Amino acid sequence: MLSRPMLTLHEVSDLLKVKESTVRSWIHDESLRAVKFGRDWRVSQKDLEAFVNARANRSPDPTGGA
């Protein structure tokens, strides 16, 4: 059972402020993990978070500070 709903390409592009074609490119390059349902792709929030964290310039601050 899914703990959170999966995101559409449109939702991912809105969240990251990039074009849908950029998200499609990440999926086709296998940089961003996604699942295809018929003609539509879906991305789990967990996979999106991992994708973003992998591209961060440093590790998150474990203390929660800035």
What are the mean pLDDT values of the chain's consecutive 10-residue runs (66 residues total)? 84 98 97 96 96 87 66
pLDDT at 47: 96
pLDDT at 3: 75
Backbone torsions φ then ψ of 55, nearest 5 degrees: -105, 0
User: 2: closest CA among 53, 54, 42, 62?
Assistant: 42
pLDDT at 66: 58
